[in-house]
Structure 1
Amino acid sequence: MDDAGRGPWDDVPRGLGLVLDEGRGALPYALIHGESLVACAAWALGDSGVDLVDATISWEGLVESGEDLVLHDALCPMTPPAFLAACLMHARATGRPVVGTRPVTDTVKVVTAGEAGQVIGETLDRDALVAVASPLVLPAAVLATLPQRPSTDLARAVADLAAAGHAVETLEAPPEGRRVSSPDDVRLLDALTTRSG
């Protein structure tokens, strides 16, 4: 801090952040540590140093802001603020979109259509795969090239960015940044992130 009480980050644009809960059913409103998933995701995003904006803000308004945009999935509620900030800083350093990912731990098989229906084929190498988690950071320069708001499904948004010619970089999220897809997953994440005291 300098004599005026300002930190070294005060002159750095904060970026804008949206918490994505649309199309996720009621799960974003399940409780973890006594709070809704969507509230935990919003707090983490705010604590990461970005300015939260309302989901009703127009796409044109987001683009015209000239700010970087951090899209944070409400189903990754315990993603640490430091990781969200690291993704934003990496996107700024490279000028490329950045997405948080987790390693794939399930067995993944190739399925093809055959004469008798679907045919299960070879097992894919898990080490060559990642699961999209959160966040997806769009630098302002990339944001300005997009004709419309990205999909709220971050895996689809990443695929759309790649199809449009944007090289999307990945950063591995910590275990607490995993995405939940069921109440059982929420209970597991709750246990994983409960501090022993």
Structure 2
Amino acid sequence: MTELPEPAEAPPALGVVLDADRGSLPYALVHGEALVACAAWALGEAGVLPLDLGTPWSVVQEAEEPLVLHDALCPMTPPGYLAECVARAVAEDTVVVGVRPVTDTVKHVEGEQVGATVDRAGLLALASPVVLPASVVAALPGWPGTDLVAVVGELATRFPVASVEAPASARRVADLDDLAVLEALTSPGG
């Protein structure tokens, strides 16, 4: 049996787990642990130094390191994937965004009429992380925000952005039903 190589070690990086403006869901349990705790552990295992959103932006900029924005609603994102995203952001000096393919049926709606089905081939769902290379951190006037869709939209107007497909375990949960699916997906032997 061929052994897979270990993922490349990520360069030094700072990171935050985003739990603000997400209701109480970040404190629900997956495999007996709060989502926010699982996300924080993944950051640590990826070699990312955790910060608090209360850290002054000037301190973040002075570190001259990439910044990882990790959503608590993507609690089972593998540490190796986080490290790969950091390494790519540094190597390419680009914002790296974790995404998942859209699998739901999407329809056009005009007024109250449901119209044609949208081709999902070009659609992506934001996952986690969003990694800002040090050059982007240096160029921003302050913390980029906690709404990752808005953050990515704003960053894309000023900086290069690369989408990287995230593994299924990195999927975002929107409610307890999604959380039950994620827990089943990530159960040992599941």
Q: TM-score normalised to the size of structure 1?
A: 0.87
Report whether the alignment pairs 1:143 with 2:116: no
Matched with 2:5 is none
RMSD after superposition: 1.7
Partners of 1:60 and 1:103 in 2: CA distance: 36
Partners of 1:148 and 1:54 in 2: CA distance: 14
Q: How many residues align?
A: 183
| C-alpha contact (below 8 Å) 2:16/2:69 kept by paired residues | yes
Q: TM-score normalised to the size of structure 2?
A: 0.90
Partners of 1:74 and 1:118 in 2: CA distance: 35
Amino acid at match of 1:122: A
CA deviation digits over 1:156-182, x for unaligned, max 9? 11101112x212101100000000010
Rate the CA distance shift 1:92–1:31 in 2: closer, same or farther, 3 A.
Answer: same
CA deviation digits over 1:5-43, x for unaligned, max 9? xxx95xx75110100000000000000111000000000
Matched with 2:179 is 186
Moved more, 55-64 or 133-142: 55-64
Shift of 1:94: 0.5
Partners of 2:143 and 2:98 in 1: CA distance: 19
Which structure's CA Rg is the greater one?
1
| C-alpha contact (below 8 Å) 2:107/2:114 kept by paired residues | yes
Structure 2: runs of 5+ lacking an equivalent: 1-7
The correspondence for 2:103, drawn from 83, 91, 105, is 105
Report whether the alignment pairs 1:123 with 2:121: no
Matched with 2:163 is 170
Moved over 6 A (4+): none
| C-alpha contact (below 8 Å) 2:76/2:170 kept by paired residues | yes
Matched with 1:61 is 59
Amino acid at match of 1:62: V
Matched with 2:39 is 41
Amino acid at match of 1:71: L
3-state secondary structure, aligned to 1:19: strand
| C-alpha contact (below 8 Å) 2:11/2:87 kept by paired residues | no
CA deviation digits over 1:94-144, x for unaligned, max 9? 1000010000011222334xxxx4554432211101000000000010111
Rate the CA distance shift 1:140–1:195 in 2: closer, same or farther, 3 A.
Answer: same
